[in-house]
Structure 1
Amino acid sequence: MRITNRAWAELALLSLIWGASFLTIALALRATGPFTAVFWRACLGAGALWAAALAMRLGVPRDLRFWGACAVMGLLNNVVPFTLMAWGQTSIESGLTAILNATTAVFGVLTAAAFLRDERLTAPRAAGVALGLAGVAAIVGPEALGAFDIRSLGQLAVLGGALSYALASVWGRARLGGRPPVVAAAGMTSAATLMMAPLMLLVEGPPRLDLGAAAWGAILYYALIGTALAYLLYYRILAMAGAANLMLVTLMIPPTAIVLGRVVLDERLAPSAYLGFALIALGLIAIDGRAAAALRRARRPAPRAAPPTRGRPDRP
């Protein structure tokens, strides 16, 4: 599917929104725990999404199978990745979190090939997966095997969140494909809220309300803009440009997160992080396949011109 200028603009906007989410999560984690941060993200995001669904006159489904599918989707797409990444971000930089989050597409290829019959692991995709995993290895580094510290655990937590996102994409395609995207997103964030509430109370206690303007601003941003509005924009671009073009946002998010982390939080990433991102980016390009297809077309010899016919040419 061809990507239009409007789709490019909205894709860039989505990458900015999600790239800034890593910064706002880091700011919120200065005032609250990761479980509380995720609870507010799911709760406020669900409220905004239901408001959008009702404004579109979509209504609230009463099918128990839908809510069962939303419970699994909320666990895989919200509770597990949000919590793991928020916890991981307490020990690693926001830019590095965004880079490791880009492996979601790499894991997505593996999970789709494992669980979906129409998604084969072709040679280009396998090469892309290998490049992506090489990028992860470059980021984590061989020293993590000998000295396993809290930073290594933080990186593994973010990778675990990326894997959970990939599993969620398979589940959503299998069980929620027939529902309006806004309703499905509202349902899964509602289910995630119900799961996060007891976890938050058990681990961190009741949520504090005296967090300060900066913390509340960060929470409102990643809940309302980085979650609710981003989901609406995500599905809009999906319908406009297709899934293959939408995957480009995975490459566009880390630069935004890295720049914001450097400017606002004074984060400095090691050279291995940039090398790892380059390898992951090459892997995603290989998985996408369009660059290789364009190269093959460029190398293909041009068709020979037909020899001129003798005699009088046809009249126009």
Structure 2
Amino acid sequence: MTPTPTNRHMTAAEWGAILTVATFWGGSYFFVGIAVKELPTLTIVLARYIITAPLFLLICAHQGLRMPWDRQFWPDFLFVGIFNQLVPFCLIAWSQGHIPSAVASILNAVGPLAIALLAHIFTHDEKLNQRRFIGVVLGFTGVVTIIGSAALNSFGVDVLAQLACITATLSYAVSILVARASGRRGAKPLELVTGQIAIAGFLLLPVELIVDQPWTLPMPSNAAILALLGLALLSSALGHMLYFRTLAAVGATNVSLVAYLMPVSAVLLGVVVLGERLELRQIAGMVIIAIGLAVMDGRPLAFLRRITTPA
């Protein structure tokens, strides 16, 4: 079997698939931005798991996959379920009740930078070179720019919400490093996603029943219900399935572009559809983060060199 190229020129259809995944995943901030106006955080998160977990189990069964019951995988499933699902998604959903969805998505765009930094610290084979180090420094400079110097004077709920987004990003990064270890032990990506979503929903259910008491909540509007369905069916289920298919077709290096494009769709939906406003420092921070990601990735710089170098 010929391995998938890790970095090659993509067809228009493959670019379309990557843009679609980025739109679906960026749309999660848009959907949460609608739902959080009417529903508490834990209810939004649990609704996502209740809808997606059975879907992923059915998809696994349809593809002939069986969840690995070997005990070596379940600590990983538990860890990734908590730190790739429960912790970050609860933090992001809560933060969107206090800051625009566009800002939340921009802060979470530093995920690849956080992964690179943690991988440098905790692994032996993924050390930062000079270019990637510069990208990481630029990216986190962008984060500081977004939060702004006002945080030093008044530590309000908006600053706390932004720090919650950053904590969510670090949580994602830690869990991805553990997920990579599970992959090396033989767990397939779809099995890993299904396991972590099922465990996250199982852990969250009793907490949500105690804290939110959903039977006491007013009936949400049609817009909120549609937002929950969009979050579960488009952003989670369809987004992940298309991501795995694209990953198999174009390789990990090319599909990593999704992480860079996702904030673009989230910002556009937040500003154009939800009517959110970005301050100048937030726009400046977004630009600095984008430059940092481009420097760390290397491909945009290589492309610029190709088109500017005389033949």
For residue 76 of structure 1, the aligned residue among 67, 79, 83 is 83
Residue 255 of structure 1: SS of its match in structure 2?
Answer: helix
For residue 34 of structure 1, the aligned residue among 27, 33, 41 is 41
For residue 148 of structure 1, the aligned residue among 138, 143, 155 is 155
Residue 73 of structure 2: SS of its match in structure 1?
Answer: helix
In structure 2, relative to structure 1, the CA distance for the partners of 1:235 and 1:209 (3 Å cut) is farther
Residue 20 of structure 1: SS of its match in structure 2?
Answer: helix
Residue 251 of structure 2: SS of its match in structure 1?
Answer: helix
Gaps (5+ residues) in structure 2? 1-6
For residue 15 of structure 1, the aligned residue among 19, 22, 25 is 22
- Deviation per CA, 1:265-285: give whole Å up to 9, x if none: 211110111111111111111
- 2:295 matched residue in structure 1: 286
- 1:246 matched residue in structure 2: 255
- 1:107 matched residue in structure 2: 114
Partner Cα separation in structure 1 for residue 49 and residue 113 of structure 2? 25
Where do 1:1-316 residues align within 5 Å? 1-2=7-8, 3-177=10-184, 178-206=186-214, 208=217, 210-294=219-303
Gaps (5+ residues) in structure 1? 303-316
User: 1:66, 1:176 within 8 Å by CA — same for their partners in 2?
Assistant: no
Partner Cα separation in structure 1 for residue 114 and residue 30 of structure 2? 24
Give how far 1:70 is off.
0.7
- Deviation per CA, 1:93-145: give whole Å up to 9, x if none: 01111111101111011111122211011110110001101110110001111
Residue 169 of structure 2: SS of its match in structure 1?
Answer: helix
Give the TM-score of the pair, scaled to structure 1. 0.90
User: 1:46, 1:190 within 8 Å by CA — same for their partners in 2?
Assistant: yes
Give how far 1:175 is off.
1.9
Give the TM-score of the pair, scaled to structure 2. 0.91
Partner Cα separation in structure 1 for residue 308 and residue 221 of structure 2? 60
In structure 2, relative to structure 1, the CA distance for the partners of 1:58 and 1:298 (3 Å cut) is same
- Deviation per CA, 1:234-262: give whole Å up to 9, x if none: 22222222222222222222222222222
Give how far 1:214 is off.
1.6
Q: CA RMSD in A?
A: 1.9
User: 2:52, 2:232 within 8 Å by CA — same for their partners in 1?
Assistant: yes
User: 2:68, 2:187 within 8 Å by CA — same for their partners in 1?
Assistant: no
Give how far 1:297 is off.
6.3
Give how far 1:18 is off.
1.5
Give how far 1:300 is off.
7.9
Partner Cα separation in structure 2 for residue 269 and residue 4 of structure 1? 34
Residue 164 of structure 1: SS of its match in structure 2?
Answer: helix
User: 1:69, 1:176 within 8 Å by CA — same for their partners in 2?
Assistant: no
Residue 65 of structure 1: SS of its match in structure 2?
Answer: coil
Give how far 1:62 is off.
2.1
